[in-house]
Structure 1
């Protein structure tokens, strides 16, 4: 198949959608499919040069909405050469542009909301939700309503999406989502990480890896770690990720107030070998998010045999809990503290069992191979249905 992914940016700081497109695209290319990407990035954006798939950069876009006059004409001219178009993410111009360009073409399009319909946003940012409610009926609702399928990466994400807006009609499909297996040279990657952060050698590292953003529960984590730090003097918190909301300074102030400065290391964004080195050096992975439709970093941690200490707002928490691959608790200070306490007090034998279960959980649920196979299943179903519709007597003028 020839597939076009459409998303607002390929900037790696954007997180899950960008990484998901990259990993699934590379995997499906290896299977013999042709995968291309269209974004509203500026063609001179530095992250485009190293992106491993063909990219059509149709920016620069104007404003946070990502408006660009080039996108609709480009889609009308080129979309027919693809078997399917996949819209990644909501609330920006690329989704509305896809609807505007494709609704009268014989090109099926699909939408991955990537958690952007979760009602957490409605409760947490009521003014933003009011603005979205005004925008919803004439734009985003139509994008989802007319999509061949709206694809959710967990049953929980699908269920929650129904609660955000009263006007809601979509063709739902839950598909597997996953990530690549990590590099196998764990020892050398771990040593490279320690070479960069020598003060962390010999510490029992609790790793947070993701955007430094209020949604991720970083403040809960600092408060919980301050309460749990005496359980193991070697325990040390690593906060790895880009500042996703100008929140880093606030959190550093909180860390100082809690008197845990010497027990917390802020690395900024870690990529490639440095990221994998952090996973392999860590003792456990922690993510107390208030909202997470999937959490690629959770899957990557599991793939490294790293137990996941997560909130029950990470939508794959049921798989993690059922497989004994980590601990799950509410997205509160008390819940995060409970996860840290259970892990730090776990005896060595049970901790090793959990590490094995973490890897088992990844292999059972979250490989990129399973993701590609399930995505192809949905796209091929859509292509068969489209072909049947085109061959129907009514479509052929015989009705």
Structure 2
């Protein structure tokens, strides 16, 4: 089947949605074929690294991503596909897909956690602004979608708490990652240490994701500063893009706690360096305030690493039930408790947790199952609607 994915950007710095599209489109062995329409600038260097067809219709000048090119492009090309998936909310992509298709082809919307009521708690002003777009536009995009895709039952249920006006056809899809490459872990580790030589030979916990307030980075630095003397050999690696320019403040927090020389900042890691970081760490840690899934969590599990998570990571309860990680509240005290529990865990118990991680990954978070589910949903859509337009 031929599937069209529509997404604002495929930049690796954009996080989960961009990675998800890349991984879903890698499963050609099950008959999944696809192309991507984006709002990216055609000269963006990351587009040259992709091995699937991409149609960059940017550049755009706002975060909303309006471009007059998108609707005509969809109208001219949709007949080549069996279905359309819009990734994310609150941008022009969904509105354009609904307008261009106008019932002529089923489309689905992958929310990627963007309906979590976290923003409602975090900022009333932001919630009000979203309401102004929700009622006339976004609500209709979701209402008219063949299916609205969520990555867990928790994400699906939380979505209904964001706005009292809500009606859509939800579907929970299996979700995950492709796992590490076949390259020996020692070679991958060297790629990481080339990027972060100050961590070589150190025991460390790994944070890998955007340096963003939503991720609880400040809670992690604060907690690490408080427990550092209990385990003098333990270090912390904070890997990821800093689009908010927050690293300076976080570094000052580390300096105030006298742990600046034990916190390492390699920047964004991709490819072998990213996988090397996972294989080299002692455990992965994510004290996020809101995480519908957490691709890096599944990547850590696929490398056999325990995960230390806040209770706002929607998949954390499943992982804890599988005995593959620890969970505490997304508060200063909770994050401190999370690190203290890990330090207090015996070597024997750490080994038992590590032994459970890959089985947890294999059963729950293999992205191949996501691709299969999408194909099955569009097959069902064909039978239910009778629409067949792909050449």
Give TM-score scaled by structure 1 length: 0.95
Q: Map of 1:107-146 to 2, 5 A cutoff?
A: 107-146=105-144
Equivalence for 2:2: 2
CA contact (8 A) 2:226 2:257 kept: no
Q: CA offset at residue 320 of structure 1?
A: 0.7
CA contact (8 A) 1:205 1:282 kept: yes
**Deviation per residue, 1:354-393 (Å, 9 max, x gap):** 1111111101100112222222222222222112899xxx
CA contact (8 A) 1:22 1:52 kept: no
1:172 aligns with 2:161: no
Equivalence for 1:19: 19
Pick one of 180, 183, 201 that aligns with 2:181. 183
Distance verdict in 2 for CA 1:198–1:58, change over 3 Å: closer
Count how many residue pairs are aligned between Structure 1 and Structure 2.
388
Any gaps of 5 or more consecutive residues in structure 2?
none
Separation in 1, partners of 2:331, 2:55: 42
Q: CA offset at residue 92 of structure 1?
A: 0.5
1:279 aligns with 2:290: no
Equivalence for 2:235: 236
CA contact (8 A) 1:111 1:151 kept: yes
Separation in 1, partners of 2:243, 2:358: 29
**Deviation per residue, 1:171-219 (Å, 9 max, x gap):** 0110101101212311221133234433323321100000000000000
For residue 25 of structure 2, give the secondary structure of its aligned residue in structure 1: helix
Separation in 1, partners of 2:217, 2:68: 38
Distance verdict in 2 for CA 1:134–1:250, change over 3 Å: same
Q: Give the aligned CA root-mean-square deviation in angstroms.
A: 1.5
Give TM-score scaled by structure 2 length: 0.96
Equivalence for 2:367: 368
1:216 aligns with 2:215: yes
For residue 245 of structure 1, give the secondary structure of its aligned residue in structure 2: coil
Any gaps of 5 or more consecutive residues in structure 1?
391-399
Q: For structure 1, which segment, 77-86 or 297-306, has the greater mean C-alpha deviation from structure 2 after superposition? A: 77-86
Equivalence for 1:159: 157
CA contact (8 A) 2:32 2:371 kept: no
Equivalence for 2:42: 43
Equivalence for 2:30: 31
Separation in 1, partners of 2:385, 2:277: 46
1:348 aligns with 2:347: yes
> Whose relative contact order is higher, 1 or 2, with alpha carbons under 8 Å and at least 6 apart?
2
Separation in 1, partners of 2:378, 2:317: 27
For residue 382 of structure 2, give the secondary structure of its aligned residue in structure 1: helix
Equivalence for 1:397: none
CA contact (8 A) 1:231 1:345 kept: no
Separation in 2, partners of 1:287, 1:97: 35
Q: CA offset at residue 51 of structure 1?
A: 1.5
